[in-house]
Structure 1
């Protein structure tokens, strides 16, 4: 037989696992025992299990259970239900329970978007707790207010209140309010990019959870979330992956759907940044159950993965499919991020006007966001979009404001001054790299080739690059040559022009986020997709890197481009001839022969067309050229 006060003693000392174990041995329980069991599960963040015992205690008339049942509804995201529940409780007798009702009711209203009334209730409760003279309880409501001010963008006030709460919140007997405060302070420092300060608070949180009596998977998930963000933003790929994999293992057993989606999204983003697109898609779909449709958040992530892979049309399908649900979700950060990446994909797909309209909405929302600094990585990645926006009258003022505001918040130089180097890469008919209007001296013929290759195939190892570009070279000589090319590009275009990630012994190379390239090859391919003949002909000045004769990859691309360009011109020429527009057909024949002077069919066809519209002298010249080429 369990002594009647044993469960209460375990509960008051914060031994919630013991409470759960002891309660399981009881055959009958009263209201107080049901309440302690429910609160034990709640404080261990086992929300779904907590609901039944708290409901039973409430039905049995326990006033504390009634209030905490509403708090549980809030924690589970059932805000409307929680608000109605609190309203139906009516006034509580003066004392701590009355103040707690105001605290959780105000927090619920705040989360529903009723900021003023929610904040007013919590401020009133705060003053009441101070009057009670209980430092521990005052610390808890102080931490609640700190979270509200953080959401409102008043970071300095939030940090001040959190540190005041931390001063009075102890680990014993109940560590969870202190854990929550540590996590909140760490989050503020992470968003301010003060990683060393953040790590101090994350380390203490881990130390608390190292005590088996206090440990819970749900609290460790929050700590690991902070750690993953710190390592990701510090650029520590190995530790980022470690934290995310540890998170994934915990989440799989927790049943927390939202965190499971968050982890799947972060893992997919991580792998795609390393150029591991297959792993990225695998991580995405591991975040949902078999047969389940991807939720909006993961559709957006998959769109980002496809965009990074260069599959713009697939990216557009995902962004456009996710957008209505993202709007309905009320997640302002996800919506703004979706709009930015959708705008870039539309721009790449040649849908310029739509891109500008979407970008304007995205920038307007970004300027309204309380935490603008968190969009900096996206703007750095979308550097070409940033530059193109500065040239669009409808969005340039918004982009300028965004760049300056983010620079102010992060205490850094504006993005376009610090990070973004724009280079124009010419490889068709001539080889030239131009930065700020000035040609850059590149002595190695493989340097321009490397820029084109990495733009098309980011995230490749040196071995993969060598096998693609120079399969016939000796492996050691080939690897050394690639190192020399990368070194020359970094010296000419900046250290961040080519970046690497992954294991030290097998790094994967990509173009850096701080360099924006305009590559004539890619522009010709885009013009071909759009059927923009005039732009294609203006850009195609001659064969791709014609001086390079030792790269099979360059040879293949040269032939592909020539076939694509001549095929497009030939199609236009045939259509013009069928329509009876012989003058246009003749002009197109001349353009095609500029690209491929040795095409015998076109040489013959040009003479046939010329006989209908050209002068005798022109016809004679075309006949001579046809005969000369034929011989």
Structure 2
């Protein structure tokens, strides 16, 4: 039986699907489910909930899990968990794996806390109890369910679904402080999701990468990932990704202490979060605003009445957070109470937050709350409690991979750490922590050297006047230790020796002028002097990113990086032609292999997208049109078979 709209859904054409089916009265269960799933992509939750509930009642298995996702996205986590618990025994195949994956994401929701051993209930409205018994970390429960779902999909050969689970596993690793494992999982997931018709999972992976690089302090990687994300946000069905990006922007401003930018970001994001009925986004935005107000504090010369109004504004902001059991809310309530010297409220709130973060397996959040708790003890002049708290926290802080977040913590608690230096038991750890923060502060932003389809050296968004020197940069990157004669013959083989020598000298002078005197280093005797790039400034080449994508078989990343031929404005030198041929040949081989893989899975939609992307990179290729014709013929056979079935 032909299901109307199925082809449009598989191609990610959600607007076309809704145009075809929305408002029709003769829809069957599967078609109702497709309409609801498309509406979910556009965050039209009320309509999606109605259509998916009708489809589930009519027996569509797809609808049961998607209905639970609507409940999850609108903050009804308890209801979503109960619905999945009822549905899971009857689910089979892909839907069972997707239900397990959604259960994993429920474990990661900040409003979900592990129950204490012994089943002691947590009543609605009750104060958080820091002395509740320890329970298994929620991240461990989430990882268990995610691994089961991933194994389920891999056994069934469902690569895209397994990629989505890999993103969730990466989020678990990121929350648990293992940034290296999180990056590996995200890179692996993107090799699959970059060609998926639904841009939502890919957007989620890119957002996590931005968050990861920002915590690590790698601004160049952040910018490269943001560039890729901005292109994705222009696609249909990415409204939830756009909101998540705005929320992340606000949190990045809070991390960097850019309070004016934080105000701008939250003012723009709050109306969208409210219109999409997203309580998690609303909560994160209000928490970020409250964090900014706490960190800025009242003006130094403010009258007492102004200070009271300032603290009242913080309390009002925190009251707008819709997730009452979110430990991030408890932590900020404690921090706000500390700033107004209400230690009777600050200590229990921070103890509750620290305990909840520990049980949930979130070390960065736990240690941030632990430092605030130590500051409370210092304000209460309880030296023993402060020392005990810092003795437990400082060694773990040094093991954090989130280097930028570590620097922010040190700056926020500078006075506390200076006082701790007076204690010989704490001084070595405090000094090591200060050194780590200073290293982060002195970190130099790498420069991007773009050689594929363009010739530029970029410092953030600024283009340096080095276009004619880029070939020399690229050559020394690929051939360090070359003599001046080697460089002349490679870069300017068609010029007279004097003109070639002059061009090389001008390029070296330009590099040293813009990048520093040590940008190009020399060694050896004068007549046989050898040249190589210096360690500073730090340079990152797009050719290295292309090589990495090719090595990882990441076809979408490779197509994104490959913007055109190597050094397009430098027509001299056999080494340039050889480099162009090698890069294009490797990219073409990867594209052909990926197309073959998609065709073996009858995934002709992705095969066509990959082929069309490659044709934009190399319009003169003679094989790509033949591949596209082969894909078209294959898709027609599949559609005819589906129609006859």
TM-score by length of 2: 0.51
- Of 283, 286, 301, which residue of structure 2 is paired with 1:261? 283
Q: Residue in 1 aligned with 2:60? A: 62
- The 1:110–1:334 alpha-carbon spacing in structure 2 relative to 1, beyond 3 Å, is closer
Query: How far did residue 186 of structure 1 move?
Result: 1.0
Determine helix, strand or coil for the equivalent of 1:350. coil
- Of 237, 242, 245, which residue of structure 2 is paired with 1:214? 237
| C-alpha distance after superposition, 1:94-147 (max 9, x if no partner) | x53454345445555687646566545544543554455555344323323322
1:79-158 correspondence to structure 2 within 5 Å: 82=81, 85-86=84-85, 89-90=88-89, 92-93=91-92, 95-105=93-103, 113=137, 118-119=142-143, 122-123=146-147, 125-127=149-151, 129-130=153-154, 132-133=156-157, 135-158=159-182
Q: What do you get for the CA RMSD once the two structures are aligned? A: 4.5
Query: How far did residue 161 of structure 1 move?
Result: 2.0
- The 1:279–1:197 alpha-carbon spacing in structure 2 relative to 1, beyond 3 Å, is farther
Conserved 8 A contact 1:35-1:62: yes
| C-alpha distance after superposition, 1:579-629 (max 9, x if no partner) | xxxxxxxxxxxxxxxxxxxxxxxxxxxxxxxxxxxxxxxxxxxxxxxxxxx
Question: Residues of 2 paired with 1:27 and 1:279: CA distance?
Answer: 55
Determine helix, strand or coil for the equivalent of 1:255. coil
Question: Residues of 1 paired with 2:6 and 2:337: CA distance?
Answer: 55
Q: Residue in 2 aligned with 1:224? A: 246
Question: Residues of 2 paired with 1:92 and 1:86: CA distance?
Answer: 11
Question: Residues of 1 paired with 2:262 and 2:233: CA distance?
Answer: 20
- The 1:195–1:406 alpha-carbon spacing in structure 2 relative to 1, beyond 3 Å, is farther
1:180-329 correspondence to structure 2 within 5 Å: 180-211=204-235, 213-216=236-239, 218-234=240-256, 236-276=258-298, 282=313, 285-286=316-317, 288=319, 297-298=328-329, 300-301=331-332, 304=335, 311=340, 313-314=341-342, 316-320=343-347, 322-323=349-350, 326=353, 329=356
Q: Residue in 2 aligned with 1:26? A: 24
Q: Residue in 1 aligned with 2:77? A: 78
Query: How far did residue 328 of structure 1 move?
Result: 7.1
Determine helix, strand or coil for the equivalent of 1:26. coil
Unaligned runs of 5+ in 1: 419-631
Query: How far did residue 23 of structure 1 move?
Result: 5.7
Conserved 8 A contact 1:136-1:169: yes
Conserved 8 A contact 2:417-2:430: no
Conserved 8 A contact 2:283-2:323: no
Determine helix, strand or coil for the equivalent of 2:177. coil
Q: Does 1:385 align with 2:384?
A: no
Q: Residue in 2 aligned with 1:167? A: 191
- The 1:201–1:139 alpha-carbon spacing in structure 2 relative to 1, beyond 3 Å, is same
Query: How far did residue 78 of structure 1 move?
Result: 2.8
Unaligned runs of 5+ in 2: 115-136, 300-308, 444-645
- The 1:118–1:317 alpha-carbon spacing in structure 2 relative to 1, beyond 3 Å, is closer
Conserved 8 A contact 1:323-1:338: yes
Q: Does 1:344 align with 2:375?
A: yes
Determine helix, strand or coil for the equivalent of 2:24. coil
Question: Residues of 1 paired with 2:431 and 2:36: CA distance?
Answer: 49
Query: How far did residue 230 of structure 1 move?
Result: 3.9
- The 1:50–1:14 alpha-carbon spacing in structure 2 relative to 1, beyond 3 Å, is same
Conserved 8 A contact 1:202-1:226: no
- The 1:266–1:70 alpha-carbon spacing in structure 2 relative to 1, beyond 3 Å, is closer
| C-alpha distance after superposition, 1:278-318 (max 9, x if no partner) | 5675365246459999987456436545655xx4x23x244
Structure ranking higher on relative contact order (CA contacts 8 Å, 6+ apart)? 2
- The 1:103–1:6 alpha-carbon spacing in structure 2 relative to 1, beyond 3 Å, is same
- The 1:42–1:321 alpha-carbon spacing in structure 2 relative to 1, beyond 3 Å, is farther
Determine helix, strand or coil for the equivalent of 1:61. coil
Determine helix, strand or coil for the equivalent of 2:59. coil
Conserved 8 A contact 1:268-1:280: no
Conserved 8 A contact 2:65-2:98: yes
Q: Residue in 2 aligned with 1:581? A: none
Determine helix, strand or coil for the equivalent of 1:90. helix
Conserved 8 A contact 1:303-1:318: yes
Conserved 8 A contact 1:343-1:358: yes
TM-score by length of 1: 0.52
Query: How far did residue 223 of structure 1 move?
Result: 0.9
- The 1:77–1:261 alpha-carbon spacing in structure 2 relative to 1, beyond 3 Å, is same
Query: How far did residue 347 of structure 1 move?
Result: 2.1
- Which deviates the most, 170-179 or 234-243? 234-243
Question: Residues of 2 paired with 1:195 and 1:284: CA distance?
Answer: 34
Query: How far did residue 335 of structure 1 move?
Result: 5.0
Query: How far did residue 29 of structure 1 move?
Result: 4.3
Q: Residue in 2 aligned with 1:532? A: none
Query: How many residues align structurally?
Result: 402
Conserved 8 A contact 1:20-1:40: yes
Question: Residues of 2 paired with 1:123 and 1:256: CA distance?
Answer: 27
Conserved 8 A contact 1:339-1:358: yes
Conserved 8 A contact 2:108-2:138: yes
Conserved 8 A contact 2:421-2:430: no
State the structure with more CA Rg.
1
- The 1:361–1:234 alpha-carbon spacing in structure 2 relative to 1, beyond 3 Å, is closer
